[in-house]
Structure 1
Amino acid sequence: MVALPSSCSQPPRPKVKPFSVPPASEPRLIPYITQRKGEEAAPDNLMICLHASGPRLYYRDEDPRDRPMQNVLWARCGFNPVDRHGMPTGEPQWKLMHPYRQMMTMRTLRCQVCSGPARTPLGFIFLAGPKDEDPARPTIYTNQPPVCPKHVRASAVLCPHLEKNPMVFLARSAPLFGVHGVIYGLDADSQVRVVARPDHALPFDHPNIPTVLASQLIRRLSSFQVMDLDEVQRELSAAA
């Protein structure tokens, strides 16, 4: 348990960044990272405490599970029971990623659809919309956990943003980079408020990280090949 100073304030609830996934053509195939009905954000109990090193964001009843990565505070969200396959139950909330399941699959490089191992003989498969990224860029930042070979095509069908023709990044190197989240601060009345909602990833060494509430873990793709679905499946078949 983290010891907190008593002079701390409480903010409004932040929103989880949306994940554009509509109902799947096969209802039983629901990505593991999809948030389910009943998995709600925790009640507001955030506070900012001032230290010699600067302000820092806390939960009033914080425990070590709230800082799973690089000491960054993570957005809390409920967990529904799981079925006999270990998959979450409940009606899918197709526009939301569960912040903790996204973090865990990205952290451990497991498939965002089935939560199984995503490593292939050639590296890891990451997907993006056909117009999301410039394939000529040497570095890509992604909030989408990888997919295993079995679920590459299923992911393309599940997410209309991918238009059934995603840009496929076959990455040999995908180090952790930082987070997406909201930045908090104190207003003129010393009340905790959201002061910024960056639309880009913040690296772990960003000066605002101590007052960020993170909801997505980001990896940096720095050694990759850009392919389409058929190409990556041919490469994987040849390497098997």
Structure 2
Amino acid sequence: MTTCRPLSQTPVMPSREKNRSVRTANESRLIPFITQREGEEAAPDNLLIVQHASGPRLYYGDEDAKGRDRPIRGVLWARCSFNPVDEHEMPTGKPQWKFMHPYRQMLMMQAMRCQVCTQPARTPLGFIFLAGPKDHDLTQAEIRTNQPPVCRRHARTAAALCPHLENPMVFLARSAPLYGVHGTLYGLDADKKVNVVAQPDEALPFGHPNLPTLLGSQLIRRLSSFQVLDLDELQRALTLAA
């Protein structure tokens, strides 16, 4: 993974204890909201598989009764703890730049909000998605991404903060429909214990028969109508469209 419980269209952030002394306001804004922090750890999985007439399905033994463990189309989502937040409602703690917090990634991708500041990411020309210079084959008609969009204000910030995004490809997409989920597949071993059976390299599309036993960690969108620009071209285009 890289960065550098049903929900409304506007994400509701979990209520968490505030810590006003961990970072300054400027530092808060310079660390993307989706970045996982030291101290935010995967929760004990306590997973179980229940056989239904339609096939096996993965559950938490103490699954949330309000459905918050299945925020997207019934897919079970990976649990990860949340650090306290500061006065700007941003997570605290030293950033783990290589990792995205699975729930915060999902929130921003679902609601199409900026992965840096959480504000709506739509621009007059569509949505801005960033990728590393070698992440995608541009001969393909469709691009799939695990990176939530960025707003115009933070396009350069996101690229500057993440070494993976040095000289980024910038996708300006008119639409970016949901595609599927990346995660880990579970099954039962010979002793009827729940174990990992596969970690697919590719996301499973919604409707895939294996989704009921997938523990999701990243929400994926597909870009099928887009322009590829650099950051300077993006800013010029947005300035003309303003």
- Please indicate, yes or no, whether the TM-score normalized by the shorter chain is above 0.5: yes
Structure 1 runs of 4+ aligned residues shifted over 4 Å read none
1:62 and 2:63 correspond: yes
Go from structure 1 to structure 2 and tell me whether the alpha carbon gap of 1:20 and 1:34 turns closer, same or farther (over 3 Å shift). Answer: closer
Aligned counterparts of 1:112 and 1:129: Cα–Cα separation in 2: 16
Secondary structure of the residue that 1:66 maps to in structure 2?
coil
How big is the shift at 1:239? 0.5
1:130-145 matches, within 5 Å, as 130-145=133-148
1:208 and 2:210 correspond: yes
Deviation digits for residues 146-177 of structure 1, max 9, x if unmatched? 001111111111111122x1101000010001
1:226 and 2:228 correspond: yes
1:32 and 2:33 correspond: yes
Aligned counterparts of 1:115 and 1:20: Cα–Cα separation in 2: 15
How big is the shift at 1:27? 5.1
Seq. identity, %: 73
Given that 2:45 and 2:79 are in contact with CA atoms closer than 8 Å, whether structure 1 keeps it comes out as no
1:72 and 2:90 correspond: no
Name the structure 1 match of 2:22: none
- The residue type paired with residue 175 of structure 1 is P
1:19 and 2:22 correspond: no
How big is the shift at 1:43? 1.4
Structure 1: runs of 5+ lacking an equivalent = 1-17
Moved more, 89-98 or 119-128: 89-98
**What's the TM-score once normalised by structure 2's chain length?**
0.87
Aligned counterparts of 1:153 and 1:19: Cα–Cα separation in 2: 17
Aligned counterparts of 1:231 and 1:60: Cα–Cα separation in 2: 50
Structure 2: runs of 5+ lacking an equivalent = 5-25
Name the structure 2 match of 1:182: 184
Aligned counterparts of 2:56 and 2:95: Cα–Cα separation in 1: 37
Give the number of equivalent residue pairs: 218
- Give me the CA root mean square deviation: 1.2
